[in-house]
Structure 1
Amino acid sequence: MSSFTVADSETPPSLASTPSKTPSSKARSRRSQAESKSRFEAYNRLQAAAVAFSETMPIPEIVAVGGQSDGKSSLLEALLGFRFNVREVEMGTRRPLILQMVHDASALEPRCRFQEEDSEEYGSPVVLASAIADVIKSRTDALLKKTKAAVSSKPIVMRAEYAHCPNLTIIDTPGFVLKAKKGEPENTPDEILSMVKSLASPPHRILLFLQQSSVEWCSSLWLDAIREIDPTYRRTVIVVSKFDNRLKEFSDRWEVDRYLSASGYLGDSTHPFFVALPKDRGSVSNDEFRRQISQVDSEVVRHLREGVKGGFDEEKFKSYIGFGRLRDYLESELQKKYKEAAPATLALLEQRCSEVTSELARMDSKIQATSDVSHLRKFAMMHVASISNHVVGNRYV
């Protein structure tokens, strides 16, 4: 992915210093933010409608993929800005979850609502983190019991409004596995792989591929699967998770720079992000959780600077190190895709509206015809005559 510039990892984006703006530039900034939020909300509504009516729409979306235990759930919680124990319900192994994250400065506590099954409507807010996990588990169990399947591609949609989350929509997919769990069909790994490929293949979707830092590029189990979907990684954001586990292995600058470049495996134009998140899974407040995330970002950069002889190539790699960098990039990339897709999306919606209008006119014509008694009588007589001729014809065969 192309390079970009954001605030240093050590400084939370909300606290980063910015140049003073003239009144006109401030107005333009507010207008741009309002337009971005309007596009985001419009695409969220389209997505909800598409899910409810099993409609296919080329909506720009981020699809998170990776092996089980590669850190997808932890990354999603970090993006949300709060924990809801998603790993405990094993949601990621059986059914996709569409997370619509909405930045709302007035939501000092997370407000989460689930879209009703087969409906555009959202239910009442769910406040307790444990209740969120329970809803995901119960909905997954109910659908799989009904379909008598181990996995399902029908997504759960959750809208989270929070002052500490970005405007971002991510589809979390079932994690790749090598072997089915006890009690599940043996072909479950193949079903998951097929489902994920189907979800990630549409060209309007951005792939967010996670792989643990302990896995060498040359022995990656799932990188080949991603290459089948997106051979040049043109629409793939590669994230090396649990990066802190790898740091202790670096002693000299050349070792760090070689690893960060993924030389020979991803191509010169593809730059992975390197992310570490808090390991403590104990009960902490949401504020403390976010503080720990920022602290880990700072510690990773500090270690690369001070714990490695010669440091690392900051000019080349710093933009790709840390959760904060990844979060800002994903939000800006999705907004860019929204803007690019707007004309084609509007044209498609106008086409669908025209088709629906024509269909309604046709149905209205039929309804009008049923109110004409003489027309109905004539139609009934023609139908009876047709049946009579058919019966008489069969008697003489």
Structure 2
Amino acid sequence: MSPPGSSARHSPAASGASAERWLQKAFGEASVNVVDRASARREEARESSYGGARYERETERRAAPGTAAKPAYWAHGQAVDSSQDDGRASPKRFFNKANERLYEAYSQLHTMAQEFDKPFDSPAILVVGHQTDGKSALVEALMGFQFNHVGGGTKTRRPIAINMKYNPSAVEPRCFLMKDDNLGREDELSLPELQAHIEGENRRLENENGFWAKDIVVKIEYKYCPNLTIIDTPGLISAAPGRKFSGLQQSARLVEDLVKQKMHQRDYIILCLEDSSDWSNATTRRLVLEADPELRRTVVVSTKFDTRIPQFSHSQDVEMFLHPPARLLEPTVLGGGPFFSSVPSGRVGLARDSKYRSNDHYREAVLEREQHDIAELERRLDRHLSSHERGRIGVSQLRFFLERLLQQRYLENVPTIVPVLEREHRIATSKLSETVQELADLNQDHLKEKGRAFYQHFLEKIPEIVRGTLAAPPRIFGESLAHEHIRGGAFVNADGRPCMPQQPVPNADMRLFGGAQYHRALEEFRLIVNAVECPPVSREDIVNSCGVDEIHNGVNYTRTACVIAIARARETFEPFVHQLGFRLSHIARRTLPVAMYLLQKEGRILNGHEVFLKKIGGTFARFVDDRVKECQEKCHEDLKSTTQFVTWSLHSGNKAGLRNVLAPHEGEHDAKDEKRRSGGELVMSDKELKNCKLTDLVENTLWNRTMKSVTVDIVDMLVRQIFSGIRAHIVQSVELKFNCFFLMPLLNDFNSFLRNEMEDAFEISLDSVFDVKSVRSALESRRHKLESELEQMEHIQSKFASIHSQLEASSGNSPATQAAAKAAVGGTTFHSAAAREMAAQDEILRASHDLSEGIAEAKAQFAQYSPNPMRGSKAYEPSPRRSSAGRSRDRAPLSPMFHN
């Protein structure tokens, strides 16, 4: 076995010869139709030359006078004249009956993986390139006939998985289209019908300006087809920058994501197409390197080679392009180097603009183009091309290499596919049993029992979430305060701007849910409302609030302050009550998906009964809305009573501010008295001074409408004192009412509310609650799909089991095979022969160690008994074809140890 990444490991000769030897060993000499040893040696020599002899033979035959030109390489991988292929088994044809069995099994495996969205897939060739790289044209050349939608722009909008199968009896292509109903059905179509279907699907997606990652699965049988599975992907788009090309940029991103998703499938061989004469321009490789950094499962192809050759002026340039150095192209590329292909332009048809009248004419043109490229290269290099160089030039050589490479991957993956299919079969069987049981349980009594059990578990989850739990991940169900503002609304002032608290809200950056989020919302409400200041009082506000009394024309500034304060408080605090109710309703509603997640995590969710689950969710949402509305009404009543009648003991708050306004400072009186004495004025007594101040106060406050600055200050201070008292009362009252009339009913009263609602719904119409008709239809569809899946899986499983048993018998239960099977059972796969060998060595050492320990333990336990075997017992002798390490319990169903 060559080291990973070596050129010998991936050379065309090595990939072909090893696969043939494996087939001969597994299926016997007769299965590969080898007539004698001499013919086998000639076959091996022809393969090692990798196309040189075929080219010379074809050149001689075409040069012979009077000989009709025949496309040699279309005779399925051998230099055999196509006219001599009568459909019988030819000893010179490599792809024999055993190979057809192997390919057919993998073709069905790929179809099943695409239909039922399985986590595995079969090896396939994934064609990746830009729009103008000639992807679809190369695929047609590999197939030997034209069928695809080829042209400028984005023509391919869905990947096309083409399962090509060599059928010597199919003179014309036989096309089978897999249905998109996920039931494994296929329709046989004519070639024009298949073309019309693909073009129609592309036009539909083009009108929607979209792409679809699901493959169009096509099976084609043809006497000129290789045994290949090729997936043609949409062409990558190089969109120009700028807002003008935003639509094209969006399409480019969609295509890139689709192609990346396909390339990350480890079983796919990537066929990377480059349309460039300089290997430093990695247009397509740039994207491929993201999925395959070392290009170990990537075949690089330079397309439109016939247009590249005239661009080179010196032979050194041609040598550089044919043999790129490691600094330009990764030396670990699959195949050891790039391939070069040329496909002639023109379509097949009878129209005036058609260049080829038949597919035979088209195939001859492809072969002529290949020979012309070789002749032109030899002329420019002034030397003959080596067999290694000829093995990389032309569609026929690429086709031959891909066919052998894919066959080798098929053989390598057989040990891993069998246990994977067994595991998927067990999963599908379990799902089918559950579906059948659910169908049997669709009766009224059982549905009622299931419904009651479910909503009882649901009622247990709501208090658990409110009280606090770590069973649900906060990164999924939690919300930071910023996200809560976006989804549940923020507190805003009268101008519509968000209110910012003077102090930071605790746990603002944490992702909370349930009771923790509820407490944070109340804390934010308290901080924001306590920071709200009374709006300033103007002279106009005071004058308009004074008015005229019914029995005198004096002014009562105390009443004026009360009127202004309660009006300001009502218009300021009422919106906050609405905003808090909406916020808490949002927080409560978010507990519903958390509860459903917890029930699903515990396996108690009712799958398939979406109507019933919506009924539960709708009842919960209605209860939350009713409690929030009721709580808001109680808060409004409290706000109305607080702002309708002013109780001085409740609303006055701190009287120190008012006293400071009404009473002048003592230092101010002393300064005025000293000034009067120094001026020689008469000094009034204290009694006269008090009477004078009282007179001034009465004149300014009781009947003087000419407001002075002291009057405005007094009224403003009174308003602020009353506003502050109302604010403190509202904060405490609102928080108390939401706790008593919203939170507590959610924990205590919702149980009876939900039970009554659901029992009433059960009595009125059980079908409307569970939608039995739709559920039964969905379950029947699921059962039909699972039965179809199991039927296909059992059919494929039997094929792979047969192939695996023959390979296992021929390889003598090699440790590599055992290691591959064990890795597949554990959910992993081998993607290289080197990894398989290392795992095999570990398996050998582990088996040897376990065996020695077992022997020592047996000797210690049974040494005291009779050293001779018991009468009637038979000593166990291992089978000559089965080693002790090969009796893995994972493969017991495939290779039983005891035979009847």
TM-score by length of 2: 0.39
Q: Does 1:327 align with 2:399?
A: yes
Give the whole-Å Cα distance in 2 for the aligned partners of 1:269 and 1:283.
39
Deviations 1:199-241 (A, max 9, x none): 01121110001112x4421123222111112111100000001
> Out of 111, 114, 128, which is 1:65 matched to?
128
Tell me which protein shows more helix as a share of its residues.
Answer: 2
> Out of 175, 183, 192, which is 2:255 matched to?
192
Give the whole-Å Cα distance in 2 for the aligned partners of 1:33 and 1:95.
33
What are the equivalent positions in structure 2 for 1:1-397 lying under 5 Å apart? Answer: 2-5=10-13, 6-8=50-52, 10=55, 11=58, 12-13=72-73, 14=75, 16=79, 33-88=96-151, 92-119=155-182, 120-128=184-192, 131-142=193-204, 148-179=208-239, 184=247, 186-212=249-275, 214-250=276-312, 252-263=314-325, 264-270=327-333, 271-281=337-347, 282-305=355-378, 307-311=379-383, 314-363=386-435, 376=446, 379=449, 390-391=751-752
> Is this contact kept in 2: 1:3–1:319, CA < 8 A?
no
Letter in 2 for 1:192: V
> Is this contact kept in 2: 1:89–1:133, CA < 8 A?
no
Distance change in 2, residues 1:79/1:91 (3 Å) = farther
Deviations 1:3-62 (A, max 9, x none): 2243336342336279xxxxxxx9998897222211211121122222222233232111
Give the whole-Å Cα distance in 1 for the aligned partners of 2:167 and 2:203.
32
Equivalenced residue count is: 380
Identity %: 29
1:319 deviates by 1.6
> Is this contact kept in 1: 2:274–2:301, CA < 8 A?
yes
Distance change in 2, residues 1:225/1:312 (3 Å) = farther
Give the whole-Å Cα distance in 2 for the aligned partners of 1:381 and 1:191.
43
1:93 deviates by 4.0
CA RMSD of aligned residues (A): 3.4
> Is this contact kept in 2: 1:210–1:241, CA < 8 A?
yes
> Is this contact kept in 2: 1:65–1:209, CA < 8 A?
yes
Letter in 2 for 1:323: V
TM-score by length of 1: 0.84
> Is this contact kept in 1: 2:318–2:381, CA < 8 A?
no
> Is this contact kept in 2: 1:62–1:205, CA < 8 A?
yes
> Is this contact kept in 1: 2:144–2:363, CA < 8 A?
yes
Give 3-state SS (helix, strand or coil) of 1:217's partner.
Answer: coil
1:358 deviates by 3.0
Give 3-state SS (helix, strand or coil) of 2:293's partner.
Answer: coil
> Is this contact kept in 2: 1:91–1:136, CA < 8 A?
no
Distance change in 2, residues 1:237/1:4 (3 Å) = same
Give the whole-Å Cα distance in 2 for the aligned partners of 1:316 and 1:384.
70
> Which protein has the larger Cα radius of gyration, Structure 1 or Structure 2?
2
Distance change in 2, residues 1:90/1:170 (3 Å) = farther
Distance change in 2, residues 1:194/1:310 (3 Å) = same
Distance change in 2, residues 1:50/1:267 (3 Å) = closer
> Is this contact kept in 1: 2:174–2:189, CA < 8 A?
yes
1:111 deviates by 1.4
1:287 deviates by 0.8
Give 3-state SS (helix, strand or coil) of 1:102's partner.
Answer: strand
Higher relative contact order (CA 8 A, sep 6+): 1
> Is this contact kept in 2: 1:58–1:345, CA < 8 A?
no
Tell me which protein shows more strand as a share of its residues.
Answer: 1
Give 3-state SS (helix, strand or coil) of 1:86's partner.
Answer: coil
Letter in 2 for 1:154: K
Give 3-state SS (helix, strand or coil) of 1:113's partner.
Answer: strand
Greater alpha carbon shift after TM alignment, 27-36 vs 341-350: 27-36
> Is this contact kept in 1: 2:239–2:248, CA < 8 A?
no
1:267 deviates by 2.9
Give 3-state SS (helix, strand or coil) of 2:329's partner.
Answer: coil
> Is this contact kept in 2: 1:89–1:134, CA < 8 A?
no
Distance change in 2, residues 1:182/1:346 (3 Å) = same
Distance change in 2, residues 1:381/1:267 (3 Å) = closer
> Is this contact kept in 2: 1:61–1:205, CA < 8 A?
yes
Give 3-state SS (helix, strand or coil) of 2:199's partner.
Answer: helix
In structure 2, what is the equivalent of residue 23 of structure 1? none
1:172 deviates by 0.5
1:125 deviates by 1.9
Letter in 2 for 1:203: R
Give the whole-Å Cα distance in 1 for the aligned partners of 2:421 and 2:215.
23
Distance change in 2, residues 1:202/1:389 (3 Å) = closer
Distance change in 2, residues 1:89/1:56 (3 Å) = farther
Give the whole-Å Cα distance in 1 for the aligned partners of 2:455 and 2:330.
74
Give 3-state SS (helix, strand or coil) of 2:150's partner.
Answer: helix
Give the whole-Å Cα distance in 2 for the aligned partners of 1:162 and 1:35.
18
Distance change in 2, residues 1:158/1:392 (3 Å) = closer
> Is this contact kept in 2: 1:99–1:159, CA < 8 A?
yes
Give 3-state SS (helix, strand or coil) of 1:329's partner.
Answer: helix
